[in-house]
């Protein structure tokens, strides 16, 4: 343990591997493809350190557990819900401290049934992100410990980030 009053300072970061075969993004994609051959329908390397993968709704929780336990993604950064003309898209940004990577995991739900499995049992930090998505976009998360409105009053009637919400009185 460091002496009190002095914090530990770290020298410059290690160099990231440069060759294409060793690129960590490819490894993540391969690992995901191996375990979820049918679930992953679309994947690509977006930019350095960011991988995008699409996953079926029913496999979401399994894939998240796999990401945490086998691939070391110990941290969820953000959950965003986006409404399109024909679907809701729920985007999970899952990051790893050791690998310095972000996985952008996307799952779709139909407009008339916006429910997905909650991942707050996998990452405790997902709890409030999911409550926010419920509050503002009306996405229902199954098995969430406390799915209540968080930013808006409890008796509010609308989900304001939906495109049909116009505000006013």
Partner 1 sequence: MAEMWINMGPQHPMTHGLWNLRVKVDGETIVDAEPEVGYLHRGIEKICEDRTYTQIIPITDRLCYGSSLTWSHLYCLTVEDLMGIEVPERAEYIRVAAIEMQRIASHLMWLAAYAADLGAMIGFIYTMRDREIFIDLLQALTGSRLTYNYPRIGGVAHDTPPNFERDSLRACDYMEKKLKEYEDLFDGSKVFMMRNVDVGKLKKEDAMNLGITGPLLRGSGCNYDLRKDMPYSVYPEIDFEAATHPDGDCYARYRIRMDEMYQSCRIIRQAIQKMPKGKWRIVAPRNAPAGTGLGRVEDPRGEGMMYIVGNGTDRPYRVKIRSPIFVSVSAAKHMLLGYKVADVVAIMGSFDMCIGETDR
Min dist. Cβ of residue 59 to partner 1 (A): 22
Closest to 146 measured CA to CA, from 118, 107, 116: 118
Q: Which residues bind partner 1 (CB under 8 A)?
A: 1-2, 4-5, 7-13, 46-47, 49-50, 74-78, 80, 82-83, 91, 93, 97, 100, 102, 104, 123-129, 132, 136, 149-153, 160-161, 165, 167
> Among residues 23 and 150, whose Cβ is nearest to partner 1?
150
| C-alpha span between 125 and 79 (Å, rounded) | 10
Provide the CA 113 distance to its chain's centre, in angstroms. 20
Min dist. Cβ of residue 34 to partner 1 (A): 25
> Among residues 38 and 47, whose Cβ is nearest to partner 1?
47
Question: 98 by DSSP, 3-state: which?
Answer: coil
> Among residues 21 and 148, whose Cβ is nearest to partner 1?
148
Instruction: Please answer whether residues 109 and 88 qualify as being in contact, where contact means their C-beta atoms are separated by less than 8 angstroms.
Output: yes
Q: At which residue do the structure tokens 């490894």 appear?
A: 27
């Amino acid at each position: 343990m460091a002496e009190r009053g002095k914090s530990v300072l770290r020298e410059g970061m290690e160099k990231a591997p440069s060759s294409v075969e060793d690129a960590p993004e490819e490894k993540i994609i391969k690992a995901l493809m191996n375990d979820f051959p049918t679930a992953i329908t679309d994947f690509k390397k977006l930019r350095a350190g960011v991988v995008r993968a699409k996953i079926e709704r029913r496999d979401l929780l399994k894939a998240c557990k796999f990401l945490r336990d086998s691939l070391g993604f110990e941290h969820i950064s953000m959950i965003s819900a986006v409404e399109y003309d024909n679907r809701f898209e729920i985007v999970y940004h899952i990051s790893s401290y050791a690998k310095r990577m972000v996985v952008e995991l996307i799952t779709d739900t139909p407009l008339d049934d916006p429910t997905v499995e909650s991942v707050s049992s996998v990452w405790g930090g997902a709890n409030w992100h999911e409550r926010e998505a419920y509050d503002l976009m009306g996405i229902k998360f199954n098995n969430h410990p406390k799915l209540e409105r968080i930013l808006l009053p409890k008796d509010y009637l609308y989900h304001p980030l939906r495109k049909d919400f116009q505000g006013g009185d």
